[in-house]
């Protein structure tokens, strides 16, 4: 269900309301009239394509954009040869950025053929003034540019573009506003991301996210709980609570509340089976959270705990606010309380000034923790961050050589670790028909490991017992037992 707002009953001959979300309902009703006229002119339903780069936060934003476009009367298609194309961009590393420009260039011929086509760019990249300047200068065929703080305004910006025919640019530097109750269309019927907070206050010295996502803002617990209850009523059994640093949830609320307290409230929601969350900053992970995870029946046995570097010296320059020893102690504490928990991480290689000794400290942590999996990144210089101005940048060849060594270590360990449950019978949430063999389905264990087993479409969204018959390195083969 993407929209339960009665757009027909809105009088668009009146002035637009000033309060949100009513103002957006008004513009959705108005934009719908433009879309109806377009449909008449082209003799078919106008189409759209939303393309997401970056993290789960962006993926959730894209579901909101999709919900708005469906309620305006567009039809979703896979191809980018559509009447309305959105790129929801990421700028966390340079390569994410480069990919967007490449893809944008390939849209130009579509636009030349289709005079009705509109192209919108939004997301983290658009929060950078240099990017917007480049779009204005070199990508004149783009119609709408907006940022991370005002994605809820899509319909209003579209009306603007329909009315004046010019490139519409609306990027806010920051916001304190959280607009609730807009449409959204989930990618999966049985699972959903749920934002619990926006922005980040940590300013890790390499990271651009605080600059493009603004300051930390927590949603009210009642808004989160109500959203999850609605999702459960609509078939969702698993939620992923989203925030750049979920462990600092609730600190800036009028009535402060800890993340662990929020989790305990969410646990009470009947019909909800699994709770995941992302991301946990090690510096803010409390004993209360560990206890809550240990006693919960619904919180999944998986914790993503970004390390970034294993060298206390580098961690200090990164402004991470923990040492190698504190991180390892935290891991021990978590494993003691939740013995079968899967741990995953993010690691950056080649941060300015990283020596071979620093790098070996990272390898040491990897060997000690034995992660179930790890995302490894080559350090990427982001303009405006403190690390970008450091004069001891590492040559790419050195960073690449370390990266390859780390990747091999991480993969060798992960292949051993993820096989450890072979032979057990475990709960699997079935997610999809297997892509290689349609007689098989694919699902996930509580610890996030992937399992393939024989089964049909009717199992999608169900939790079933599966015997893990064979460990295949990064996944299991299994047999359903119920
Ligand atoms: N808020 C999350 C991370 C969000 S960004 C956290 O603190 O864990 C996801 C990952 O991208 C980070 O964990 C980091 O490993 C990586 N990353 C961020 N900035 C980067 C940069 N400039 N170069 C390389 N990797 C980076
Ligand atoms: Fe970036 Fe650090 Fe914030 Fe994560 S916690 S988003 S790495 S600044
Ligand atoms: Fe990228 Fe923005 Fe997420 S920069 S990683 S999409 S918060």
Total Cβ atoms within 10 A of residue 197: 25
**pLDDT for 1:** 45
For residue 120, give the nearest of 81, 150, 85 by alpha carbon.
85
Residue 465 to residue 429: CA distance in whole angstroms: 9
What is the chain's percent helix, strand, coil content, to nearest 5?
40, 20, 40
Per DSSP, the three-state class of 77 is coil
Contact yes or no for 404/378 (Cβ under 8 A): no
Q: What proportion of the chain, given as a percentage, has pLDDT over 90?
A: 92
Supply φ then ψ for residue 361, to 5 degrees: -65, -40
Mean pLDDT of 427-452: 95
- The CA 307 to ligand 3 mean position distance, Å, reads 18
If pLDDT is split at 50, 70 and 90, which confidence band does 184 have? confident
Using the atom order of ligand 2, give the atom closest to the CA of residue 244: 6
Residue of the nearest CA to atom 3 in ligand 3?
A: 55
Centroid of chain to Cα 147: 16
Residue 33 to residue 349: CA distance in whole angstroms: 52
Query: Would the pTM of this model clear 0.75, i.e. be above it?
Result: yes
Which protein residues are within 6 Å of ligand 3, measured from CB? 54-55, 57-58, 90-92, 124, 209, 212-213
Supply φ then ψ for residue 450, to 5 degrees: -90, 140
* Contact 32 CB / ligand 1 (< 6 Å): no
Residue 364 Cα distances to 141, 326, 410, 453, angstroms = 50, 14, 11, 36
Rg, C-alpha atoms of the chain:
23
Residue 202 to residue 182: CA distance in whole angstroms: 29
Residue 43 has pLDDT above 60, yes or no: yes
**pLDDT for 474:** 85
- The CA 207 to ligand 1 mean position distance, Å, reads 6
Using the atom order of ligand 1, give the atom closest to the CA of residue 381: 22
**pLDDT for 3:** 61
Residue 71 Cα distances to 37, 85, 179, angstroms = 15, 16, 17
Mean pLDDT of 162-189: 90
Residue 87 to residue 62: CA distance in whole angstroms: 9
Total Cβ atoms within 10 A of residue 449: 24
**pLDDT for 287:** 97
Strands 475-480 and 274-278: unpaired
* Contact 158 CB / ligand 2 (< 6 Å): no
If pLDDT is split at 50, 70 and 90, which confidence band does 6 have? confident
For residue 195, give the nearest of 207, 212, 206, 182 by alpha carbon.
182
Using the atom order of ligand 3, give the atom closest to the CA of residue 92: 4
pLDDT digits (tens, 9 = 90+) for 262-317: 999 999 999 999 999 999 999 999 999 999 999 999 999 999 999 999 999 999 99
Strands (E), 79-162: 84-89, 118-123, 144-146
Residue of the nearest CA to atom 11 in ligand 1?
A: 92
* Best residue for ligand 3 mutational test, from 50, 55, 201, 215 (most atoms within 8 Å of Cβ): 55
If pLDDT is split at 50, 70 and 90, which confidence band does 180 have? confident
* Best residue for ligand 2 mutational test, from 56, 242, 281 (most atoms within 8 Å of Cβ): 281
- The CA 108 to ligand 1 mean position distance, Å, reads 32
If pLDDT is split at 50, 70 and 90, which confidence band does 118 have? very high
Mean pLDDT of 447-452: 96
């Amino acid at each position: 269900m993407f929209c339960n707002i009665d757009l027909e009953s809105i009088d668009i001959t009146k002035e637009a309301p000033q309060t949100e979300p009513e103002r957006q309902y008004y513009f959705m009703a108005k934009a719908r009239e433009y879309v109806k006229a377009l449909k008449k002119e082209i003799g078919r339903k106008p189409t759209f394509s939303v393309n997401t780069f970056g993290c789960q936060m962006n993926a959730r934003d894209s579901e909101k954009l999709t919900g708005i476009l469906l309620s305006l009367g567009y039809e979703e298609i896979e191809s980018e040869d559509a009447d309305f194309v959105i790129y929801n961009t990421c700028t966390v590393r340079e390569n994410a950025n480069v990919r967007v420009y490449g893809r944008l260039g390939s849209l130009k011929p579509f636009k030349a053929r289709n005079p009705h086509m509109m192209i919108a760019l939004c997301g983290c990249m658009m929060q950078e003034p240099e990017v917007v300047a480049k779009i204005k200068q070199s990508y004149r065929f783009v119609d709408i540019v907006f940022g991370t703080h005002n994605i809820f305004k899509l319909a209003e910006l579209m009306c603007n573009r329909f009315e004046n025919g010019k490139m519409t640019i609306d990027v806010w530097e920051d916001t304190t506003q959280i607009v609730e109750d807009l449409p959204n269309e989930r990618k999966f019927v049985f699972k959903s991301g749920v934002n619990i907070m926006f922005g980040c206050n940590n300013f890790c010295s390499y990271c651009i996210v605080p600059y493009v996502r603004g300051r930390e803002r927590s949603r009210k617990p009642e808004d989160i709980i109500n959203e999850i209850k609605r999702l459960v009523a609509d078939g969702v059994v698993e939620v992923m609570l989203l925030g750049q640093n979920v462990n600092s949830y609730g600190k800036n609320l009028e009535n402060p509340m800890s993340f662990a307290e929020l989790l305990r409230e969410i646990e009470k929601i009947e019909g909800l089976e699994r709770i995941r969350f992302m991301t946990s900053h090690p510096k803010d992970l409390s004993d209360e959270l560990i206890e809550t995870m240990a006693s919960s029946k619904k919180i999944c046995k998986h914790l993503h705990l970004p390390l970034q570097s294993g060298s206390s010296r580098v961690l200090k320059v990164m402004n991470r606010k923990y040492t190698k020893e504190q991180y390892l102690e935290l891991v021990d504490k978590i494993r003691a309380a939740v013995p079968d928990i899967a741990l995953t991480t993010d690691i950056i290689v080649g941060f300015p000034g990283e020596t071979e000794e620093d790098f070996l400290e990272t390898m040491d942590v990897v060997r000690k923790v034995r992660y179930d999996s790890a995302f490894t990144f080559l350090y990427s210089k982001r303009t405006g961050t403190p690390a970008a101005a450091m004069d001891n940048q590492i040559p790419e060849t050195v960073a690449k050589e370390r990266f390859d060594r780390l990747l091999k270590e991480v993969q060798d360990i992960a292949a051993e670790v993820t096989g450890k449950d072979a032979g057990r019978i475990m709960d699997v949430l079935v997610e999809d028909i297997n892509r290689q063999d349609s007689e098989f389905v694919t699902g996930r264990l509580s610890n996030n490991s992937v399992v393939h087993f024989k089964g049909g479409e009717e199992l999608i969204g169900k939790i079933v017992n599966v015997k893990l018959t064979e460990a295949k390195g990064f996944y299991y083969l299994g047999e359903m037992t119920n």
